[in-house]
């Protein structure tokens, strides 16, 4: 149940303009041990993101990434259950169509319940995470609804303002110049909406709202459904254009202060800038340092 709940209003095409939980009817049998073991056996290795986050005393994070390795589905599930791993199975619409069909139905329920919510694209990833796993303070470039399916986890959702999500950082995220992690201070927690998620609940938040997650001592399964609206495309286009200008030493006007026409002009400029290739992605090519193992500390065995 939520520790702090806020009533929503739609804004800019987003699902909500304040954090909110919803109910969903996704079948929990789809994420049973038996179902996940079978899924992990057949899921393409190139669609695994295997992460392990290390935190210092101030909550600052460093990231280790791993490879799928040669474990069977059951062995991989055992490693996740005893470690600190956070595993994303990307392109889940193709990789797990039975689950995806129910996510689509859940999205249709949200569209009926929230007037004005009309996503133009949505996709997602299945997330399997260890009992002690944590995800650092970060912001996503698109809209997100997190459907929780198994276990218990706590999520902190922060205001998407300059103090908590500086525009210069979102510019670099949208331009794919950096990962989604943001500078974090423990004092931010006093400004967060906090929810304890149980199976059968989903949570949504405003575009670009920073958030962080901690599992509450249980193996967890969630589905992260990412969506775009015309409003989010305009917004991210404006951030992209401002990021290019800022990188060239130009002063930029805050995206948060732009009128609709100003936002549209920057979005149009971003389409040209992207075709010109002015901001080549710096993501990818992370060094893989471990593979999952149920016998290893944190569920991660160093690669030879």
**What pTM does this model have?**
0.92
Give the C-alpha separation, 99 to 102, whole Å.
5
Which phi and psi (to 5°) does residue 269 adopt?
Answer: -65, -35
Averaged pLDDT for residues 153-157: 98
Tokens in use for 17?
A: 């303009």
Question: Quick one: pLDDT at residue 2?
Answer: 37
Question: Quick one: pLDDT at residue 285?
Answer: 67
CATH class for the region spanning 1-228: mainly beta
Give the C-alpha separation, 46 to 185, whole Å.
34
Per DSSP, the three-state class of 203 is strand
| Domain residue ranges in the chain | 1-228, 230-278
Query: Which residues, 6+ apart, have CB-to-CB distance to 161 below 8 Å?
Result: 256
Question: Quick one: pLDDT at residue 283?
Answer: 74
> pLDDT tens digits, residue range 239-288?
999 999 999 999 999 999 998 899 999 999 999 999 999 888 877 767 88
> pLDDT tens digits, residue range 114-125?
877 888 998 999
Tokens in use for 196?
A: 């304890």
Give the C-alpha separation, 130 to 79, whole Å.
8
Query: Which residues, 6+ apart, have CB-to-CB distance to 202 below 8 Å?
Result: 21, 22, 23, 24, 106, 110, 145, 146, 147, 148
Per DSSP, the three-state class of 284 is coil
Give the C-alpha separation, 155 to 192, whole Å.
9
Tokens in use for 271?
A: 């389409």
């Amino acid at each position: 149940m939520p520790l702090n709940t806020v009533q929503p209003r739609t804004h800019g095409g987003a699902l909500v303009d304040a954090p909110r939980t919803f109910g969903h009817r996704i079948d929990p049998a789809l994420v049973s041990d038996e179902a996940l073991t079978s899924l992990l056996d057949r899921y393409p290795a190139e669609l695994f993101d295997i992460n392990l986050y290390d935190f210092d005393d101030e909550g600052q994070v460093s990231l280790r990434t791993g490879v799928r390795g040669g474990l069977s589905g059951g062995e991989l599930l055992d490693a996740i259950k005893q470690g600190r791993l956070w595993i994303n199975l990307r392109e889940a619409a193709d990789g797990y169509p039975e689950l995806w069909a129910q996510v689509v139905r859940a999205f249709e329920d949200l569209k009926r319940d929230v007037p004005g919510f009309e996503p133009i694209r949505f996709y997602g990833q299945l997330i399997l995470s260890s009992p002690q796993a944590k995800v650092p303070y970060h912001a996503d470039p698109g809209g997100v609804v997190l459907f929780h399916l198994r276990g218990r986890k706590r999520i902190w959702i922060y205001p998407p303002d300059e103090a908590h999500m500086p525009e210069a950082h979102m510019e670099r995220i949208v331009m794919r110049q950096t990962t989604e992690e943001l500078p974090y201070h423990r004092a931010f927690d006093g400004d967060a909406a906090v929810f304890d998620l149980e199976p059968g609940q989903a949570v949504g938040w405003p575009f670009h709202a920073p958030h962080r997650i901690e599992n509450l001592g249980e193996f967890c399964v969630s589905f992260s459904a990412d969506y775009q609206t015309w409003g989010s495309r305009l917004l991210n286009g404006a951030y992209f254009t401002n990021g290019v200008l800022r990188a060239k030493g130009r002063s930029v006007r805050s995206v948060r202060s732009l009128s609709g026409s100003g936002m549209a002009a920057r979005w149009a400029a971003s389409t040209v800038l992207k075709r010109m290739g002015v901001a080549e992605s710096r993501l990818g090519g992370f060094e893989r340092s471990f593979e999952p193992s149920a016998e290893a500390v944190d569920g991660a065995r160093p690669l030879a």
